Amino acid sequence: QVQLLESGGGLVQTGGSLRLSCAASGRTFSSYAIGWFRQAPVKKREFVAAVSRSGDSTYYADSVKGRFTISRDNAKKMVYLQMNSLKAEDTAVYYCAARRVTSAAFESWGQGTQVTVSS
């Protein structure tokens, strides 16, 4: 099983940018699709973006499409979420998660990193 650790969160003004990183441990990182999710206070966790095992395919929630970019570096066992044009509604704890191709759900989760966008 893969272990995940997020970093890169912080406080940024509206319109600013942040890059989140997700570091993975384990020998089979390239066997996992990776997703980013977020959860704001009193809201349910929601999908943000995902990247396929090879990195060739990416998927985004409509709310972040055109502003966020997900990428991965399998050699470094890293996944990134570049967030541009940040809005107050992007404020949340961001989590990365891993899913094997044989699994219907994301099965490994990081502890999260806080992103706060101030107006």
Q: What is the pLDDT of residues 17-73, one digit of tens each?
A: 999 999 999 888 999 999 999 999 999 999 999 999 999 999 999 999 999 999 999
| pLDDT over 90 at 104, yes or no | no
Confidence of residue 1 (pLDDT cuts 50, 70, 90): confident
pLDDT given for residue 119 in this prediction: 85
- Residue 79 to residue 71: CA distance in whole angstroms: 6
pLDDT given for residue 55 in this prediction: 95
Q: How far is CA 31 from CA 25, 97, 103, in A?
A: 12, 13, 11
pLDDT given for residue 29 in this prediction: 92
10-13 and 113-118 beta bridge pairing? parallel
pLDDT given for residue 27 in this prediction: 80
- Residue 71 to residue 78: CA distance in whole angstroms: 9
